[in-house]
Amino acid sequence: MLFENRHLRPQPNAPFGRVMVAKTTHLGDLVISLPLASAIKRRDPGCTVVYLTNRATADVARHCRDIDEVYGLPETTDELVALLAALKIDIFVQVNVAHWLAKAAFDAGIPIRIGTMFRYYNYRFCTHLVANSRSYAGMNKRQLDLQYLRPLGICATDWPEVLALSRCARPVVETTCSTLRPRQFANQRHTIVISASLVTARGHQWPLEAYSELIRSFDPDKFHWFVCGISSERDSLTPLLAAHQNDSNVTDLVGKLSLTDFMAFIGECDGLIAGSTGPVHLAAAMGIHTLGLYSSSRSDIRRWAPVGPRASVIYSNQRCTGISGARGANAMACPCIVAITPERVAQRVQSWFQKP
């Protein structure tokens, strides 16, 4: 394979002008990419950081302190090219790998276009290539994404620095519906959000029965639980909701919160429990107590662990056997995720409220 020097030569330092970061996939992926905005601003406070995102997740980017402009992904490639050209972008950072993104930036005439060297089409469409293979052992996805900034002379992959860059503001949202404010339920009780959203590998979904057992293990006079999710997840969460429909300390908020409302809501709660999904990364970045329930695959834990000052994960010592073929609707739970007991989770939650 031939490498041209122009693909490996760092660009001069700031000013950068208008820098676009393209992350158009899911919620968790977007949250994981937010440290790029902070790293760019740290190097060049006067530059304009622009994010191109999935329309459904754009509100999260709008609440990042270091992002100046946010645009939802247009429906067609022609519209995307027109948008990129109109925005007069100086630097395009292609964080999620996609042929159509690389070509759109090329067609829009953006001067500096950064992408991974592990896609053949980027040798045509990108001016600078980065070696950020997934095979890099032990690196969190945030560290991998930050490598896209190396052509700009930005190196921010040390863990303390990554932690400092991983932050997301808590939006202040006043709603006319008082039932959507956690303080209405608190009554001196701790407030915990359960986001039992479906993880990508269904075999690594902590069983709903385990969530139910966790809820029942706490004093209902001291803890209030909020079950959250999007409308399309209601059917899958029905067993959990039905099991607690008469419990005064459990509130069903599935499909009742916009993404911005959800951010504001969890920002007022004491903590959040979830699998390896977007909400666990969002809560961690917002700085609240966050507990991720993960498979025992060490590579998955290192790569996808939530990052934040109060974030942690729990996993079992049971060997993971459920990665392959565990994405269908009828996937059986992997023994490694079933081995996480409600008692262990309860102990971690209790530790959030113990005085030092």
Where residue 143 sits, what CATH number does that domain have? 3.40.50.2000
Q: Kindly report which listed range (59-63, 136-140, 176-180, 286-290) carries the lowest average pLDDT score.
A: 176-180
Same domain for 202 and 161: no
pLDDT at position 237: 94
Same domain for 258 and 317: yes
Which residue from 320, 210, 190, 354 is spatially nearest to 268, judged by alpha carbons? Answer: 190
pLDDT at position 172: 60
Instruction: Give the span between the Cα atoms of 54 and 309, in whole angstroms.
Output: 27
Whether residue 306 is preceded by a cis peptide bond, meaning omega within 30 degrees of 0, is: no
- Is residue 18 in a domain? yes
Instruction: Give the span between the Cα atoms of 114 and 16, in whole angstroms.
Output: 13
> Mean pLDDT score of the chain, rounded to an integer?
87
Same domain for 183 and 284: yes
- Is residue 100 in a domain? yes
pLDDT band for position 5 (cuts 50, 70, 90): very low
- Is residue 159 in a domain? yes
Among 2-16, 37-51, 139-153, top mean pLDDT goes to 37-51
Same domain for 241 and 155: no
Same domain for 271 and 228: yes
Residues in contact with 239: Cβ distance below 8 Å, sequence separation at least 6, in sequence order: 208, 209
Q: How many domains does the chain have?
A: 2
Q: Considering only residues 326 and 266, tell me which one the structure prediction assigns the higher pLDDT.
A: 266
Domain boundary among 115, 133, 165: 165
Same domain for 221 and 290: yes
SS3 173: coil
pLDDT band for position 3 (cuts 50, 70, 90): very low
pLDDT at position 184: 73
Average pLDDT estimate for 57-85: 95
Q: The whole model's pTM is what?
A: 0.89
pLDDT at position 270: 95
pLDDT at position 163: 75
Same domain for 193 and 136: no
Same domain for 231 and 88: no
pLDDT at position 162: 80
User: Quick check: 322 pLDDT over 90?
Assistant: no
Residue 334 near residue 280 (C-beta atoms within 8 A): no
DSSP letter for 197, please.
Answer: P
Residue 59 near residue 85 (C-beta atoms within 8 A): no
Same domain for 193 and 158: no
- Show the domain range for 25: 5-165
Average pLDDT estimate for 253-266: 92
Domain boundary among 106, 133, 165: 165
Same domain for 197 and 74: no
- Is residue 64 in a domain? yes
pLDDT digits (tens, 9 = 90+) for 183-223: 777 778 999 999 987 776 667 889 999 999 999 999 999 99
Among 50-64, 125-139, 152-166, top mean pLDDT goes to 50-64
Give a three-class secondary structure readout of 102-161: HHHHHHCCCCEEEEECCCCCHHHHCCEEECCCCCCCCCCHHHHHHHHHHHHCCCCCCHHH
- Is residue 172 in a domain? no
Q: Kindly report which listed range (154-168, 188-202, 229-243, 330-344) carries the lowest average pLDDT score.
A: 154-168
Same domain for 194 and 109: no
Residue 109 near residue 96 (C-beta atoms within 8 A): no
Of all residues in the chain, the percent with pLDDT exceeding 90 is 65
Q: Kindly report which listed range (164-168, 206-210, 273-277, 327-331) carries the lowest average pLDDT score.
A: 327-331
User: Quick check: 44 pLDDT over 60?
Assistant: yes
Of all residues in the chain, the percent with pLDDT exceeding 70 is 87
Residue in the block written with tokens 């951010």: 263
- Is residue 174 in a domain? no
User: Quick check: 1 pLDDT over 50?
Assistant: no
Same domain for 210 and 83: no
- Is residue 173 in a domain? no
- Is residue 339 in a domain? yes
Domain boundary among 143, 165, 187: 165
Residue 211 near residue 194 (C-beta atoms within 8 A): yes
